[in-house]
Amino acid sequence: MRAIQTALCAFAVGVISAGSAHADQQSEYVGPPIITPTPPPPPVAVRFGALGQPVENAVLRLPETESTCEGLAAQPLYSETLPAQQAARQGESDAETVLSFSIAADGRTVDIRPADAAPIAFAPLQAGLAAWRFPAQARKDCRLTIRWRSVRLDEAETPDLLNYFAVTRDRGALRDAVAKRLGGDGADCGDRFGGRRPDTVVFPDFDKGRKPAPGGRSWSVTRWNIDAEGRATDVETLGSSGDADLDSEARRATAETRMHPGPARTGCVYNLYRSGETLAAPPMTPEDQREDPLQQCPATIADRFSVRANPVFPTVFRDRSVEGWALIRFDIAPWGQIGNASVIEAQPAAAFGVDALRLVQTSPATPGFEAGVRCVVPVRYKLQDTDKPVDADQN
């Protein structure tokens, strides 16, 4: 269950929860359950990827990163491979993507936002960078430059295929084609069960060993065959992020899983991952540091305005258990109309400000006798235990 709390900064009393009418009330938003999708249907003669082109002609964009602060190299203590993308055509990958960010005193990344794009752009990249850690020293004017290398699917090597299969984690025809390539020559199994009906499914012990850093995620891709009796054979780790304990548990669970008797299958592949602990949002800017000489926001606005209780926790941050917040400035007319809404600040990444802005723009307000100018409301995105992703691939 997700609790997203809001409060008008012009009023020092209490915290107004999303959907609450008074400062001393709180409500909780109940989001949709996490549902494991059913397997995709069998491929047809011509399969199309996400961009509408035949899968056989797909081009992958693979990221290569360089981080700097004030023009000097900045080496992270903890980093992860960022997700690949599908390009519409060969050569599209030549452009660079730049994320600007700062490093807090404890070494975590904050102020993450695309340097030359809308705040929501490259949300998966923003979420990935949020998990990085640098030496404990506050630094400003940092940039993560992502250079894209394009490669045709039929020419991609195993590390490139693993990036798309395990890190990007898309579903659909392209993922199926990547799974077949990873399965090896003659593979007829695909992603996980290969059409065989499971008899006993064994899961890894995700608590064994050391977890990734807060907000981080480790992954392991296993490849195996299934014999006619339903036993897993030739179980091996095809690739991983380096989490040896997860690799070992993935192999054990695969070896102990049994299918019902049926046709033998070769080249089955599957991705498992586990997440670190919840990465709490950075401290919110104190109200006394948000001084605005142009603000005229009467205390009565608190009784007339409440944030609509239909928040959308950004999926890519929820999947990594990364919390955040945003400060939204707005005007309110005496008749209750909201206008001039804008994001003052969003942490740890700009993507959190996108939904917060939408919430304020669509939230109800009742008529009154006074207008409010440059009022400010914080929107907090917090995860409860039921919101945390399960430690298994849901593709």
Domain for residue 393, yes or no?
no
Q: Which two tokens stand for residue 93?
A: 């990958």
Backbone phi and psi for residue 208, each to the nearest 5 degrees, phi listed first: -80, 130
Rounded Cα–Cα distance for residues 307 and 237 (Å): 48
| Chosen domain end from 242, 275, 308 | 275
Domain of 239 in residue numbering reads as 192-275
pLDDT digits (tens, 9 = 90+) for 99-124: 999 999 999 999 999 998 888 889 99
Mean pLDDT for 218-238 is 96
| Residue 191: pLDDT band with limits 50, 70, 90 | low
Structure tokens at 315: 């999926």
46: helix, coil or strand? coil
Tokens 């305005």 belong to 305
135 and 14 assigned to the same domain? no
Buried b (16+ CB within 10 A) or exposed e, 345-380: bbbbbbbbbbbbbbbbeebebeebeebbbbbbbbbb
Question: What's the pLDDT at 89?
Answer: 55
Taking alpha carbons only, the member of 192, 194, 163, 156 closest to residue 55 is: 156
Asked if residue 231 has pLDDT above 60, the reply is: yes
Is 237 within 8 Å of 225 (Cβ atoms)?
no
- Residue 17: is its pLDDT beyond 60? no
Domain end call among 183, 202, 230 = 183
- Do 327 and 224 share a structural domain? no
Residue 305, Cβ density class (10 Å: 0-12 exposed, 13-18 middle, ≥19 buried) = buried
230, 247, 275 - which closes a domain:
275
Same domain, 147 and 74: yes
Please state the domain count of the chain.
3
**Cβ-defined contacts of 154-158 (< 8 Å, 24+):** 154/56, 156/60, 156/181, 158/182, 158/238, 158/239
Mean of pLDDT values over 371-378: 94
In eight-state DSSP terms, residue 229 is T
Does one domain contain both 301 and 364? yes
- Region 161-166: mean pLDDT is 93
Tell me which residue of 312, 295, 299 sits closest to 8, measured CA to CA: 299
Q: What is the mean pLDDT of the chain?
A: 83
For residues 279-306, average pLDDT? 91
Is residue 385 predicted with pLDDT exceeding 70?
Answer: no
Which helix (DSSP H) or strand (DSSP E) does residue 254 occupy? helix 244-256
Residue 32: per-residue pLDDT: 41
For 113-222, where are the alpha helices, taking DSSP H only? 123-130, 158-162, 173-183
The whole-number pLDDT of residue 94 equals 58
Phi/psi at 103 (5° precision) = -115, 125
Q: Are 243 and 300 in a shared domain?
A: no
Check whether 374 has a pLDDT greater than 70: yes
What are 34's strand-pairing partners? Answer: none
pLDDT in tens, 26-83: 333 334 443 334 444 433 333 434 444 577 778 999 999 999 999 999 999 999 999 9
pLDDT tens digits, residue range 195-222?
889 999 999 999 999 999 999 999 999 9
Tokens of 331: 């005007």
pLDDT of 342 > 70? The answer is yes
Percent of the chain topping pLDDT 90: 62
Give Cα separations from 77 to 135, 246, 394 (angstroms). Answer: 7, 21, 29
207 Cβ partners below 8 Å, 6+ apart? none
